[in-house]
Amino acid sequence: MFPPAITEFWRTPSPTSRFLCGDDAFGVTVDPALEEHERLTVLTTTGGRTRALLTPAVADALDLDEGQAVDEPEFRRRLEQAGITLHGADHLFYFTDETRETLLGESDDPSVRRLTEADAQAFARFQEAASEQDLDDAYVELDHWAVYGAFEDGRLVGAASTYPWDDAPLADLGVLTLPPHRGKGHARHLVRAISRHAIARGYETQYRCQLDSHASVALAGSAGLTHFGTWDIVSPDSEG
């Protein structure tokens, strides 16, 4: 259903990891090679299986032993006891094999084009017109790996940017349309145009959004993306 690059990234164990405990519904894998900021992550796929990936130090803090019978509620109880908090899960969306093929057979909308350094002034005006919250949530930057803009009457009213994610064949995507210009299809056109760009260069588009961002979830669906699951990571302020 999903391209192999996506499923292999999420489901293929790394050479340094080993399964610690759990069952078909919930499993814990330890990996001493994890970076400090990713010392604990939790992935739940749409099929209902949850996998926690963590360092041996976190496993010790949770008193987890090999072969132990631990379900997800018990795992989360141990997190709370250890003072380890998660950042808050994001939805993960990707193009399936079928929707990817349709995407690649299309052309960019005439209102959309790739942005370059020559668009710096227009991009600065775009940022000035956006709220700080929208800019933080979207994380669209002109110096990212690829940036596309949507225009109305010569004015930049929407932008999307993407960059390679975690040394994986995935390109993480952010998109923002100025409030007065929403509901006109700009974000959808941007997502599809920049996704064609990424796929042509060997990357699969990754669209993430918070669980309560209903507008972002709706955009994912309208752009042709399919829900893969949810992913959470240890909070940078966590004690554990």
Say if 230 falls within a structural domain.
Answer: no
- 113 shares its domain with 67: no
Q: Which two tokens stand for residue 190?
A: 């941007």
- Rounded-to-integer distance, Cα 95 and Cα 148, Å: 19
Say if 237 falls within a structural domain.
Answer: no
**Could you read off the pLDDT of 143-186 as tens digits, one per residue?**
999 999 999 999 999 999 999 998 899 999 999 999 999 999 99
pLDDT of amino acid 240:
59
pLDDT of amino acid 75:
97
Q: Which two tokens stand for residue 81?
A: 């006891």
- 131 shares its domain with 41: no
User: Does residue 67 surpass a pLDDT of 90?
Assistant: no
- 67 shares its domain with 113: no
What is the count of structural domains for the chain? 2
- 132 shares its domain with 29: no
Say if 236 falls within a structural domain.
Answer: no
User: Does residue 130 surpass a pLDDT of 90?
Assistant: yes
Segment holding 54, helix H or strand E: strand 50-54
* Contact residues for 174 (Cβ-Cβ < 8 A; gap 6+): 138, 139, 140, 160, 161, 162
**Could you read off the pLDDT of 185-231 as tens digits, one per residue?**
999 999 999 999 999 999 999 999 999 999 999 999 999 999 999 99
- 54 shares its domain with 26: yes
pLDDT of amino acid 166:
82
Domain-ending residue, one of 70, 91, 112: 91
* Contact residues for 130 (Cβ-Cβ < 8 A; gap 6+): 176, 178
pLDDT of amino acid 239:
62
**Could you read off the pLDDT of 15-53 as tens digits, one per residue?**
999 999 999 899 999 999 999 999 999 999 998 899 999
pLDDT of amino acid 236:
85
Structural domain span for residue 207: 96-224
What does residue 178 show for φ and ψ, rounded to 5 degrees? -65, 140
